[in-house]
Amino acid sequence: MNIVTIFDDLQLARNKLVNPLGLVPTMGALHAGHLSLIRRAREECQSTAVSIFVNPTQFAPLEDLKAYPRDVDRDLGLLEKEQVDLVWIPDAEELYPAHFQTWVEVDQLTKVLEGGFRPGHFRGVTTIVSKLFNAFQPQKAYFGQKDAQQTIVIQRMVKDLNYALEIVVCRTIREPDGLAISSRNAHLDPEQRKAASVLFQALSAAERAFNQGRHDAEQLRQIMREILEMETQAEVQYVSVANPTTLEELDGNADRALLSTAVLFGKTRLIDNVMVKNDKR
Ligand code: AMP
């Protein structure tokens, strides 16, 4: 496994890799969710690369950038076991040199849901992801359904900017009680951790209702809200039933929908989603 920090070294190492190259962008603190992306890349590509970079531009000033968990040695041990070919661990100065002023921004899709609560977040994401695509020149890049809006925004960016690569969206890996695995789960105290499975319960109840033929968007939002509001530790930020292409909130009967929610437990903010589709049409 080749581990590089400097951009020039990355280019040299990348040029030695056989195509197709699969890239898995991460912020480190690797867990089973990340590993599932890496395994999928290994299955589908000749070479696999991982980036580890806690991207400061996708955190708002009051968000948890400083508290974000970091353990590079542990991460590298895991990546070695997964037989990853190339790992890039750049410094912030490498990616954001002095006088940096060029941004990539997806317009409408980033104004709602996560974008509504985290202004500037997606501008940071699309800028760093496009820099990673330019640096690695991968044929495929792997992202988790866990961050559904992120995958939709990145797919839009890839189309709009003519990136010649395929985005592969991998299913959400969950704890036994349904909680989506996330490095932020470590910030939950034991009571909050227990309560946090309510996101999955709410989404699953709405998914079941949809699959039983209840397709009215507002009814589905109501099902989720009722379950989330029963959990006293949960402070709900949004409950959404949106068009999975435009991310606009749906009215009336939905044929396809992204059900999603964001919930605070104390200071810890959790998100989760499921995609539903009416197979009968
Ligand atoms: P992060 O390090 O949080 O930026 O995540 C890196 C990638 O892993 C993103 O594409 C995430 O969507 C994905 N990911 C994070 N958690 C999970 C999970 N529980 N299941 C599947 N993918 C995940």
State the chain's maximal CA–CA distance in angstroms.
56
State how far the Cα of 61 lies from the Cα of 277, in Å rounded to an integer. Answer: 38
Nearest protein Cα to ligand 1, atom 22: 144
State how far the Cα of 43 lies from the Cα of 27, in Å rounded to an integer. Answer: 22
Nearest protein Cα to ligand 1, atom 6: 26
Distance 147 CA to ligand 1 centre (A): 7
State whether the beta carbon of 125 lies less than 6 angstroms from ligand 1: no
State whether the beta carbon of 90 lies less than 6 angstroms from ligand 1: no
Q: Strand ranges (DSSP E) for the chain?
A: 2-4, 21-26, 47-52, 86-88, 140-144, 166-170, 234-242, 256-265, 268-277
Active-site choice (34, 121, 187, 215): 34
* Residues 241-261: tens digit of each pLDDT: 999 999 999 999 999 999 999
Q: How far, in Å, are 160, 207, 234 from residue 184 at the CA level?
A: 32, 25, 15
Nearest protein Cα to ligand 1, atom 11: 144
Q: What is the pTM of this model?
A: 0.98
Handedness of CA 247, 187, 33, 210 (dihedral sign): negative
Residues spanned by CATH 3.30.1300.10 within the chain? Answer: 183-272
Query: How far does CA 182 lie from the centroid of its chain?
Result: 10
Closest atom of ligand 1 to 25 CA is: 6
- The superfamily in CATH containing domain 183-272 is Pantoate-beta-alanine ligase, C-terminal domain (3.30.1300.10)
State how far the Cα of 169 lies from the Cα of 129, in Å rounded to an integer. Answer: 15
Contact residues for 8 (Cβ-Cβ < 8 A; gap 6+): none
* Residues 154-209: tens digit of each pLDDT: 999 999 999 999 999 999 999 999 999 999 999 999 999 999 999 999 999 999 99
Can you tell me which residue has the tokens 């359904």? 145
Closest atom of ligand 1 to 183 CA is: 3
Active site (annotated) includes residue 34: yes
State how far the Cα of 225 lies from the Cα of 262, in Å rounded to an integer. Answer: 11
* Residues 77-90: tens digit of each pLDDT: 999 999 999 999 99
Residues spanned by CATH 3.40.50.620 within the chain? Answer: 2-170
Structure tokens that stand for 102 in this block: 């060029």
* Residues 196-219: tens digit of each pLDDT: 999 999 999 999 999 999 999 999
Per-position b or e across 20-48, b if 16+ CB within 10 A of its CB: ebbbbbbbbbbbebbbbbbbbbbeebebb
Instruction: Flag whether pLDDT at 280 surpasses 80.
Output: no
Distance 34 CA to ligand 1 centre (A): 5
State whether the beta carbon of 55 lies less than 6 angstroms from ligand 1: no
CATH number belonging to the domain at 2-170, selected among 3.40.50.620, 2.60.120.620, 3.50.50.60, 3.30.310.50? 3.40.50.620
Query: How far does CA 157 lie from the centroid of its chain?
Result: 15
